[in-house]
Amino acid sequence: MRLIYTLFLLLTFVSVDVAGQRKTLKLAQSHIDVGRYNEAIRVLQPLLSAEEVNREVYVLAGIAYLGDPGDSEYAITLFDKAIELYPPDEKLSRKALEARLFKAQALHLSHRFDEALKIERELLEITPATDKDFITAINREIAYSENALKMIAEPVSFQIQSMGRAFNSMHNEHSPVVSVDESTIYFTSNRPLEGMNSDDGDYFESIYASYWRDGEWTAAVPVELPGSYYGNRATVSMSADGNTIVFYQNDGAIGNLHESRLVFGSWTEPTPLPPPVNSGSNESHASFSLDGDRIFFTSDRPGGYGGKDIYVSHKLPTGFWGTPLNLGPNVNTELDEDSPFLHPDGVTLYFSSEAHSSMGGHDLFFSRIDEEGKWSEPVNLGYPINTVYDDKFFLPTADGQRVYYASRQADGYGAMDIYLITFPQNDERSLAVVARHIFDEKGMPFSDVIVRIYDNENNLLQGVYRPNSLSGKFVSVLPTGKNYRMELEAEGYERYRETFRVEIREVYGTRSRAFYLEPIILKPLNQEDIDGKAGLNDSE
């Protein structure tokens, strides 16, 4: 909830008369700081029910009720009661000004933007010019309200549906990561999990998985990574074939990025990504390019534009990551940028930001890199994809027609939920998801093979792939309307080569509509080949 980060540090509840009230307010504030709004309301309830209520109690209770997407109207009532306790003839103190700005934020969250703007503009006129931080906060709220009015007047056409109870609960679910063929989704939740409750009674975030089976998603189950760990783990990224998962893990006072690989159905021991990706600062989210040669990640390391910034690092010929480069002022701002996702086209970056043309909190944007390496001015994805609440973790499919993302919606299951967006179908697709299975001579899934795909017109390498160790399936994302050449190389087997074409067609969806090529059955080398006369199997 954005107001906690933009304004809450401006409040100091020290003018209470009773030590017990002071202790209660401090406890409620600690709950709000970590998002436990219901707990804050619970401890404040006795003070709200008292015969005489301190105005600071009303303000803090209003903030707590704003934590629930459905309670902004009641929060307005609480802020009104606080404002009434500041006499009209009294010179408005900083707390009186803040109470009015909190009311404006509550009006904004209730989509009463004109009323919010009226208060915000009045505050701008009466706030002392020396109070620059507060003026900055007011101007930011004015921009949010003006942006909201513009975007709601021109909504984006799409369908949105909740991913349902297979994914969502009354707890937070977020950060979905999806295999390219949409057969597997990993996500993060802080729902109750035995042995994973923190010292203050809440549950740590853990990683869950759901699989597409028989036309529906299976009920999510925890992902069991080897080794013992006590703390938060959150999904960050996944390789195209689903064999590698990258996740966030809090290591003491900071958070780092770790990865684990799926080998014959079991996850390997998690290992931290090496420097300079991980650092002495917080690295919270990341996305790899399809070829694995670039990583885009979020960090609050020194030297950025402010808050969290997005960086990119290129893989060197040595296999190590190069010096991270800040994406620059077209993407990064003095506020937070988060949850980068590089589309399989390799040039479009989706991310969330509190700045740019946000309509409130984190909004979702995209930017494209040109041939000179410059990022374009970010484009807001529009309403109602973006809302007055925080919208993050935007994961579009390769054909761009569906999106998995997390959002707080008034009709959700509780806190943040995972949703699926479906856009209207276009006539053509620029990219297609191409999948294929590889088997050995006994008909068993085979993974110890290198697959290379080339553009057959210019001989440019499109990608290098390895099949899944359990299924023998590999997945690639290729431009449509082109001819390709596929070459396979495996020790002890004949080399395999064939050409194929990916036509432009109406829909290159995934899951049940991926473009599947016929399975390949590799042939073992005969003794003559082993002695040095390698065979070549051409299926052109």
Instruction: Measure the CA–CA gap between 231 and 164, rounded to whole angstroms.
Output: 27
Average pLDDT over residues 141-168: 90
Mean pLDDT score of the chain:
84
Residue labelled with tokens 């063929």: 181
pLDDT, one tens digit per residue, over 238-253 is: 876 678 899 999 887 7
Q: What does the pLDDT read at residue 406?
A: 84
Q: What does the pLDDT read at residue 510?
A: 47
Average pLDDT over residues 421-431: 58
Look at residue 331 and tell me whether its pLDDT is greater than 60. Answer: yes
Average pLDDT over residues 352-380: 91
Instruction: Measure the CA–CA gap between 162 and 164, rounded to whole angstroms.
Output: 5
Tell which wins on pLDDT, 412 or 494: 494
Q: What does the pLDDT read at residue 20?
A: 78
Instruction: Measure the CA–CA gap between 64 and 72, rounded to whole angstroms.
Output: 10
Q: What does the pLDDT read at residue 393?
A: 81
Continuous segment of H or E residues that includes residue 119? helix 113-126
The CATH number of 159-422 is which of 1.10.10.10, 3.40.50.720, 2.120.10.30, 3.30.300.210?
A: 2.120.10.30
Average pLDDT over residues 288-316: 92
User: Percent of the chain scored above 90 by pLDDT?
Assistant: 44
Instruction: Measure the CA–CA gap between 256 and 258, rounded to whole angstroms.
Output: 7
- When pLDDT is cut at 50, 70 and 90, the band that residue 387 belongs to is confident
Q: 2-153 has which fold? A: 1.25.40
pLDDT, one tens digit per residue, over 72-129 is: 899 999 999 999 987 655 567 788 888 899 999 999 999 999 999 999 999 999 888 8
Instruction: Measure the CA–CA gap between 487 and 536, rounded to whole angstroms.
Output: 10
DSSP assignment letter at 510: S
Continuous segment of H or E residues that includes residue 77? helix 72-84
Count Cβ atoms within 10 A of the Cβ of residue 111 and give its class: 0-12 exposed, 13-18 middle, 19 or more buried.
Answer: middle
Provide the CATH number for the domain formed by 431-539 in this structure: 2.60.40.1120
Please name every residue paired with 495 in a beta bridge, in sequence order, or none if there are none: 536
DSSP assignment letter at 425: P
Average pLDDT over residues 159-185: 88
Q: What does the pLDDT read at residue 198?
A: 54
Average pLDDT over residues 157-167: 86
User: Percent of the chain scored above 70 by pLDDT?
Assistant: 86
Look at residue 512 and tell me whether its pLDDT is greater than 50. Answer: no
Q: Which amino acid is at 243?
A: N
Count Cβ atoms within 10 A of the Cβ of residue 471 and give its class: 0-12 exposed, 13-18 middle, 19 or more buried.
Answer: middle
**pTM of the shown model:** 0.75
Tell which wins on pLDDT, 178 or 107: 107
- When pLDDT is cut at 50, 70 and 90, the band that residue 375 belongs to is very high
For every residue of 437-474, DSSP letters joined together read: EEE-TTS-B--S-EEEEEETTT--EEEEE---TTT-EE
- When pLDDT is cut at 50, 70 and 90, the band that residue 428 belongs to is very low
Q: Where are the domains of the chain?
A: 2-153, 159-422, 431-539
Where are the extended beta strands (E) located within 343-481? 348-353, 363-368, 379-380, 391-396, 402-407, 417-422, 431-439, 450-455, 461-465, 473-479
Q: What six digits make up the tokens of 44?
A: 């404040």
> Residue 229, CB half-sphere, CA atoms under 13 Å: how many?
21
